Amino acid sequence: MGEEHDYQRPSPADDQTRRALRTNTLAILAFWLVVMGLLYFGMKQFMAPRGATVTSTGSLVIPRHNDGHFRVAGTVNGVPVNFMVDTGASLIAVTDAVAKKAGLTGGVPTTFRTANGNREGKVSVSDSITARNLAVSGLRVGTGYTGESEDDALLGQNFLRQFDVEIKRDSMVLNPRGS
């Protein structure tokens, strides 16, 4: 004797409940996707570096980025770079990709002693280095830097010592000499 099971067809009320549950689940999912999207774009905006400004006297004011570093847009032989000011670096340092685009070929092979250990690279001489409105020519540039992206570079002491440098709270000010 087999067991008999009564199969009951779902009632229209059960179908309505399932549809409502599915709709609510999709609404909750959509809500959280919107919240996460807003958080992402809000944090992206918050974390974006504020731009450096030039004063009426020609001084360059570089705001401190949220990561604690001073960052400024510049160029190496006309090639755009994102400089991170590194007061502990003797030279300007660029990635191999920037060096190639900027025509910094050849150079003297050297070993750089960095906070992250030794690294091999070359030292070349640039035609021009700019940080916003400030320009210096004929500076030595180290190649082989490994930044977060290929257009990252370090703005070292050989550039900084051309200016009077002040650090005030969350700003670094580079003042042209004689101003």
pLDDT for res 39: 85
Sheet holding 108-114, edge to edge: 108-114, 117-125, 140-143, 92-94, 152-155, 79-85, 71-76, 129-131, 134-136
Q: Can you tell me whether residue 14 is helix, strand or coil? A: helix
Number of domains in the chain: 2
Verify that 116 and 36 share a domain, yes or no: no
Verify that 112 and 71 share a domain, yes or no: yes
In a domain, 94, yes or no: yes
In a domain, 6, yes or no: no
Verify that 18 and 36 share a domain, yes or no: yes
Tokens representing residue 52 in the block: 């450096």
More confident residue, 143 or 6: 143
In a domain, 116, yes or no: yes
The rounded Cα 87 to chain-centroid distance in angstroms is 18
For residues 163-172, give the mean pLDDT.
Answer: 95
The pTM of the whole model exceeds 0.85: no
Verify that 33 and 61 share a domain, yes or no: no
Verify that 110 and 82 share a domain, yes or no: yes
Tell me the CA distances in angstroms from 134 to 31, 114, 162, one per residue in order. Answer: 48, 26, 10
In a domain, 1, yes or no: no
In a domain, 133, yes or no: yes
Verify that 126 and 152 share a domain, yes or no: yes
User: What percent of the chain clears pLDDT 90, i.e. is strictly above it?
Assistant: 57
Contact predicate 104/123, CB 8 Å: no
Structural domain of residue 30, as residue ranges? 11-48
**Tell me, what CATH number does 66's domain have?**
2.40.70.10
Per-residue pLDDT band for 92 (boundaries 50, 70, 90) equals very high
